[in-house]
Amino acid sequence: MDVYQKSQASHPYTEQDIGTTRLLPTYRMDLRPTHSKDVFYQANPISNWKDVSWDKIGRPYRVERWSKEKLRWEKEHDQQLPPQTSWEMFNRSFQNLFDADALATRQEAFGTLGKSLGTLKMHEALEAVEDIVQATVWNKIHRVEDAVWDPRGKRALFEGLDVKKPEVLFLGAADGYEAMQLMAMYPGGHAVLVDYDDYCRTNRFGEFPEAYPFLGEDPATGAPRVWYRDEMNIDFEVVDIRDLKYGKEFDVVVSIGLIEHFPDEYKPLALDMHRRFLKPGGYAIMTTPRAQLQSKIFYTLFADIMNFAYRELMDVKHLGLYAYENGFEILRHGRIKAHNGIIARAR
């Protein structure tokens, strides 16, 4: 492969592809503009957070159907699965979904189903049916609807921040997707990804597709530009977020699907982690999964793959109220495809 072919392979899309979307074997590439039709970002349903109370909105929904692997571990060790071990299990099993070609997996499972029915191996047949359902649902959610990465929803949530070349801190970064989206939208900055599972550094982020295009901005002209991860200035720190030693040095502190893993007695700590390292006037960005029917069905069907740790599903009012009563001013809030999102500042 010469240099040109190599750069074509790792950077296959250019500004000429802006406005288009394509389904690839393991993900959707989506360079359609942020505000095209199906973003579903419903901004600002609450006008005054003082009027919201837990009595009025109730509590978040708890997911309590657990992964078999977690239950087996707890039986074998006669103790509760420690949180860090639960995340190590989660990250490996969730990443398997991102790595698999869902349609090929489904095809293979249909083959297994046929064979096991032919030989009357009913247990094997049931497992094959489960694989078919999971591959079909994952294909729809992640590939067709792109509801997990949700680039247009995330861009709609992240747009309009008053920052230039920002320093970004990503708490519980996993694959680091949202930091890359922020780096594309606000180019020239630097992101620190923090996760205590080293597998996230080596695999989830480490092997994130280098050919995935992020739609952002050209800093010289302000025109739309396609960015790739290897053009971004990103460091990955493998450490517990509670042990971080930074000062107030970040323009943006972001977490995606982290707050809902802290039961209420730890929510003040979780929210404080988003405030502690912000420069005065800096932005905290938080998202949590929505308590919608599709999400409840997803966490039931995918319990073995996803449910290793305490998890709540919320409405955006829950997320906003947690932030408001823990000292944040909420600048913007709304719903994207699978998550609630808020942009906040320390009050």
Ligand X SMILES: C[S@@+](CC[C@H](N)C(=O)[O-])C[C@H]1O[C@@H](n2cnc3c(N)ncnc32)[C@H](O)[C@@H]1O
> Which residues of this protein are in contact with ligand X, per CB under 6 A?
87, 91, 94, 172, 174-175, 194-197, 200, 240-242, 256-258
Residue 269 C-beta: closest distance to ligand X, Å: 10
8 A C-beta contact, residue 277 and residue 170: no
Residue 290 to residues 61, 86, 320, 330, 336, Cα–Cα distance (Å): 10, 22, 13, 18, 9
Nearer to ligand X, 128 or 299 (CB): 299
Q: Compute the least distance from the CB of residue 288 to ligand X, in Å.
A: 10
For ligand X, the closer CB: 94 or 158: 94
Residue 20 near residue 309, CB atoms below 8 Å: no
Q: For ligand X, which is the closer residue by CB, 204 or 333?
A: 204
| Min CB(194)–ligand X separation in Å | 6
As a whole number of angstroms, the distance between CA 277 and CA 257 comes to: 19
Of 225 and 337, the one with the shorter C-beta distance to ligand X is 337
Give residues with Cβ within 8 angstroms of 222, minimum separation 6.
none
Is 38 or 198 the residue whose CB approaches ligand X more closely? Answer: 198
Q: How far is the CB of 203 from ligand X (least distance, A)?
A: 11
Per DSSP, the three-state class of 289 is: strand
Nearer to ligand X, 125 or 194 (CB): 194
Q: Give whole-number Cα distances, 15 to 4, 32, 216, in Å.
A: 17, 11, 10
The DSSP call for residue 290 is: B
**Encoding tokens for residue 241?**
């977020």
Query: CA distances (Å), 59 to each of 34, 322, 324, 344, in order?
Result: 32, 11, 15, 21
- For the bound state, the minimum distance from the C-beta of residue 116 to ligand X, rounded and expressed in Å, comes to 32
CB of 206 to ligand X, least distance (A): 13
Min dist CB 267 to ligand X, Å, is 14
Q: Give the 3-state secondary structure of residue 347.
A: coil
C-beta of 198 vs 329, nearer to ligand X:
198
Distance CA 200, CA 172 (A): 9
Closest CB to ligand X among residues 167, 195:
195
Ranges of beta strands (E only) in the chain are: 21-23, 28-30, 42-43, 61-62, 167-171, 190-194, 214-217, 224-227, 234-237, 250-256, 278-289, 312-313, 328-335, 339-346
Q: For ligand X, which residue has the nearest CB?
A: 172
- State the distance between the two ends of the chain, measured CA to CA, in whole angstroms: 55
- Smallest separation (angstroms) from ligand X to the CB of 273: 9
